[in-house]
Amino acid sequence: MNDTLRTKLGVPFPLFAFSHCRDVIVAVSKAGGFGVLGAAGFSPDELETELTWIDQHIDGHPYGVDLLFPENMALAGEDPSRVTDLARGIPQQHRQFVADLLKTHGVDPGGEADAVRVSRPPSLLRAQGVALLDVAFRHPIKLIVNALGLPPKEMFEGARAKGVLVGALAGAREHALRHVEAGVDVIVAQGGEAGGHCGEVSTMVLIPEVVRAVRAVSDVPVLAAGGIMTGRQMAAAMVLGASGAWTGSVWLATTESETSEIFRDKMVKARSRDTVRSKGRTGKYSRQLKSAWTDAWEGPDSPGALPMPLQSMISEPALQKATAAAERGVAGGRELVTYFVGQGVGLVENVRSARAVVQDFREEFAEALGDLDTLAS
């Protein structure tokens, strides 16, 4: 196993868990894995609260933070105080499409005022992201990760000052090489079957491709992501040359996760074919559970998704309303409910505690290694 991960990160079992939920981060790190908190959806004050709680409960085990500084995004230089102006960039056609979609599903779209999320400036705005970075660096994190594109200079500077490693996601070999050239310490190579923002190349092909390219020019470790829900798949990914696994979707089906019970129930019932790669949630391609929402945005009457960050400003409030309605028993609301999840959703059979998930990973990983002993003879 690549020394960087064990030595610099202090992680015994290279299972990296991406989650928005602090309980998952703590459970995973305490069980020998490495939790990474997805922080893009928090305000700086909220992030401060989350990280303080983590520090108090994690017994000194290592963990990291993941932020979102997309390279190619409309309004990257915008001042957060101009969010109301941003909202004006949203065409009436799109607002109407969303309102009608909610109505035909028995969900009250509410007034114009709460159709667009302006109360919390999208953290995709650079200044917001930098404020979150500052908060993260005030805590004993070991890894800071950029979820989309090259990490910005503020991430490198803060990380170097604190002895924190910098990670970055890549969905293609060329992107991984750019990361290495820029000085990234850990590459997360994410296959197209992953939940959330992802590329087109599958994990089985991408991992060997990225490992081969990165090893030709550096010692940078590569984590495998995309579809990994079990210890057996983690072992397979390491056979492909990865130094560990980066996982996301499996943590959504835990008792601690931030998802609604309705979504977790949908996850248990879903097949691996029930996801779709669509721009309808954030404006960039991301893999989500198929639902009436994704069907509408991919359908013939769709006005087409707005660019990031505008699409989130209309999708998030709408889906919150749909979820709330679903929780009140509105069947149409339930049909709309969706979230980021990968094809691995087909492997989810039940909802477990995060701790049980880590234990299952460790047991299956050991079993898989045992099987290979048999193969070798």
DSSP per-residue letters across 273-321: TSEEEESTTTSS-EEEE--HHHHHHHSTT---PPPTTHHHHHHHHHHHH
Q: Which is nearer to a copy of itself, 8 or 232 (CB)?
A: 232
- Residue (64 or 342) nearer to a copy of itself, CB: 342
Nearest distance from C-beta of residue 282 to a copy of itself, angstroms: 21
Residue 362 makes contact with a copy of itself by CB under 8 A: no
Can residue 199 be called a binding residue for a copy of itself (CB under 8 A)? yes
CA 248, 189, 164, 361 torsion-angle sign? positive
* 104-112, 304-312, 332-340, 367-375 -> range binding a copy of itself (CB under 8 A): 367-375
Smallest gap from Cβ 124 to a copy of itself, in A, equals 25
Tokens representing residue 139 in the block = 């805590």
Angstrom distance (rounded) from CA 22 to CA 35: 9
Closer of 45 and 371 to a copy of itself (Cβ): 371
Residues 316-345 as x/- pattern, contact with a copy of itself by CB under 8 A: --------------------------xxx-
CA distance 184 to 287: 25
Size of the site for a copy of itself (CB under 8 A): 48
Query: Under the criterion CB under 8 A, does residue 182 sit at the interface with a copy of itself?
Result: no
Which span sits near a copy of itself by CB under 8 A: 85-93, 117-125, 197-205, 319-327? Answer: 197-205
* Strands 275-278, 286-289: pairing kind: antiparallel
SS3 118: coil
Q: Which amino acid is at 358?
A: V
Of 104-112, 182-190, 196-204, 355-363, the segment contacting a copy of itself by CB under 8 A is 196-204
The nearer residue to a copy of itself, 35 or 342, going by C-beta atoms, is 342
CA 181 to centroid of chain Cα atoms = 24
Q: Which one of 272, 302, 353, 359 is in contact with a copy of itself (CB under 8 A)?
A: 272
Nearer residue to a copy of itself within complex by CB, 54 or 236: 236
What distances in angstroms separate CA 176 from CA 53, 170, 234, one per listed residue?
A: 33, 5, 20
Task: Please say which residue, 245 or 351, places its beta carbon nearer to a copy of itself.
Answer: 245
Angle between helices 231-239 and 354-376 (to 10 degrees): 50
Return the structure tokens found at 48. Answer: 């401060």
DSSP class of residue 194 equals: S
Q: State which of positions 236-265 bind a copy of itself (CB under 8 A).
A: 236-241
Beta carbons of 342 and 202 less than 8 angstroms apart:
no
Residue type, 6: R
Q: Which residues bind a copy of itself (CB under 8 A)?
A: 1, 172-174, 191-193, 199-206, 208-209, 212, 226-230, 232-233, 235-241, 271-273, 342-344, 346-347, 368-369, 371-376
